[in-house]
Amino acid sequence: MPVDVMPARETRKHILLVDDDRGFLEVTQIILRREGYDVATAPTGREALDSAGEKDFNAVVLDISLPDADGTELLSRLLEKSPALVPIMLTGRSSVRNAIDSLNHGAFAYLEKPVEPRHLLSVIKQGLEKQRLIVERGRLLEELERSNRETRLLLRVSRAVARSLNPERIIAAALDALQPDMGEYAIHVNLAGDNYLKLAGQYGLSDMVKTALNAVPVEAGVAGAVFRNGLSIEAAPGSEDGEIPPALAGEGYRCYAVVPLTAGGERLGVMGFASRLPVLPRTLDTLAAVAHELSIAIRNSQLYEEASSARALRELDAMRSKLLANVSHQLRAPLAVIKGYASSLLQTDVTFDIKTLQEFLVAIDQEADRLARLIDEMLLMCRIEKGALELRRDYYAVRTVVESVTEPLANLTLRHRLCVDIAPGLAPVYVDIKRIGEALVNLVENAAKYSPEGTDICLAAGQDADRVVFTVSDQGCGIPPECREKVFERFYRVPDPAVQARPGTGLGLSICRGIVRAHGGEISVRGQPGGGSEFSFFLPRGEQRSREAAWTG
């Protein structure tokens, strides 16, 4: 069996010899073939152009003076057809002008006839080497350009995903960053849920495909396999690696790559790229690098969330302990008083006069009331927080509301000067009078509790365009600006020893806020110019359904 000594077909170089000297053509063809070149010959310019039309030549050896064509013109036309061609010009006469002319027209070299075959061979080799270097340089430039593009893309993605700690926003930012480069492709991101990979972001997908990819089973399909095995897959119709999901194939997608989203050994989900062309928008490596950037950002956000919720849990735990300590202290104080007086009364060896007996029983009665109120407050707070506060609302004149609590207000301000100032002609309010009364009592009770004896406490009512406003102001210790929002949180008490020394649970104002909000209103506090606080709550004006209420208000 003859051994094929010729180079492999792809690496064989094709050479076109153009000369009207048929003897020269024959000899040179033999020499070049022996060197492994594929050689075609053309004795005329026309035949040379025909051959160049049929095949891509690497080099042409061209006689400058052909009977039917001007050598330099023919050279230009050949170069038009294949710009990478290496042209070597031949001439019978030494002519500097011809040489310069042909070199100016793109010739690689200029040889004088008769040509020494070995010289011709060496020039051809040099020309082809130069051509190889040019091609290689082009390839390297292209490669550099490509990797620049990939680096820019990755940089854009990594900058975009670093801007947030919210997984949804991170995914949206990554997709936004990809769009300018890969907008003509469809991309989806599915994150791991219970047995499913749930669609967490996409672009370019139709509603039908979105529905199909909304919850991809972990156990099935290309995406499932990538998630389970942590290896990228490039799927194409009939490919052994995996089939394109029917929903995508049905819409003309011909190429589908899925890369895993993993970070720190955690499997987070998958990222899919679908293309209607038979090739991917980028190499699988680049897609995996994009997915890697995204994975790190998602994992960081998860870790941050976990750390935050652990911190929140710790805070909640601390709050709960504080609350328990506070509540048990509050419950214990009246119980201790009741127990003390009751034990004294039970002593058989002591006799008390009627006055002392009376004092003991009053103390027991008051402390029992305090205890009952505390328990009521806690139960009420629970109802408010569950959204289960029932309101028995009706239309009332503002004055009627205030008068419904005259007695408790008077009792609470025995050691203060209470002034009540209700503006005339106020609109009625549509309220549960008992609850709003409780809120007013609470605010006045606080005013008395946190103000020195003998100071003024003012309860006023007025209105603006669409709200009725109740205000309770005092000349007490006031509330530092940074605590003014917090005092409405349950169990919050201003961390001031003077405040902490007063009895209190920190529930009163949060109950007030719950009641006011249940009426569609809002409550706030501000400082008074000369010290002291001013609490205001606003209620929507009731419709003018009750004329009588409006008049008496």
Q: Which residues bind ligand ADP (CB under 6 A)?
A: 446-447, 450, 474, 476-479, 487, 492-494, 499, 504-510, 533
Q: Of 412, 336, 391, nearest to 517 (Cα)?
A: 391
The nearest distance, CB 427 to ligand ADP, in angstroms, is: 27
Report helix, strand or coil for 159. Answer: helix
Amino acid (one-letter) located at 312: A
The nearest distance, CB 531 to ligand ADP, in angstroms, is: 10
| Closest CB to ligand ADP among residues 511, 549 | 511
The nearest distance, CB 495 to ligand ADP, in angstroms, is: 8
The nearest distance, CB 540 to ligand ADP, in angstroms, is: 24
| Closest CB to ligand ADP among residues 267, 490 | 490
As a whole number of angstroms, the distance between CA 447 and CA 474 comes to 6
As a whole number of angstroms, the distance between CA 473 and CA 534 comes to 4
Give one word for 264, left, alpha or beta, with left for phi > 0 and alpha for psi -120 to 50.
left
Q: Of 463, 475, 462, 387, nearest to 420 (Cα)?
A: 462
The nearest distance, CB 393 to ligand ADP, in angstroms, is: 24
Record the tokens describing residue 9, joined without a space. 């077909």
As a whole number of angstroms, the distance between CA 394 and CA 436 comes to 12
The nearest distance, CB 515 to ligand ADP, in angstroms, is: 13
The nearest distance, CB 503 to ligand ADP, in angstroms, is: 7
Q: Of 310, 312, 302, nearest to 166 (Cα)?
A: 302
The nearest distance, CB 517 to ligand ADP, in angstroms, is: 15
Q: Of 308, 233, 224, 296, nearest to 266 (Cα)?
A: 296
| Closest CB to ligand ADP among residues 173, 509 | 509
| Closest CB to ligand ADP among residues 272, 478 | 478
| Closest CB to ligand ADP among residues 232, 451 | 451
| Closest CB to ligand ADP among residues 16, 487 | 487
Residues with Cβ within 8 Å of 338's Cβ and at least 6 positions away in sequence, in order, are 364, 367, 368, 371
* CA 346 to each of CA 295, 342, 353, 356: distance values in angstroms, whole numbers, following the listed order: 73, 6, 14, 14
| Closest CB to ligand ADP among residues 117, 408 | 408
Residues with Cβ within 8 Å of 30's Cβ and at least 6 positions away in sequence, in order, are none
| Closest CB to ligand ADP among residues 192, 323 | 323
Q: Do 63 and 70 form a contact (C-beta atoms < 8 A)?
A: no
Q: Of 393, 396, 402, 471, nearest to 427 (Cα)?
A: 396
The nearest distance, CB 263 to ligand ADP, in angstroms, is: 45
| Closest CB to ligand ADP among residues 430, 450 | 450
As a whole number of angstroms, the distance between CA 511 and CA 488 comes to 8
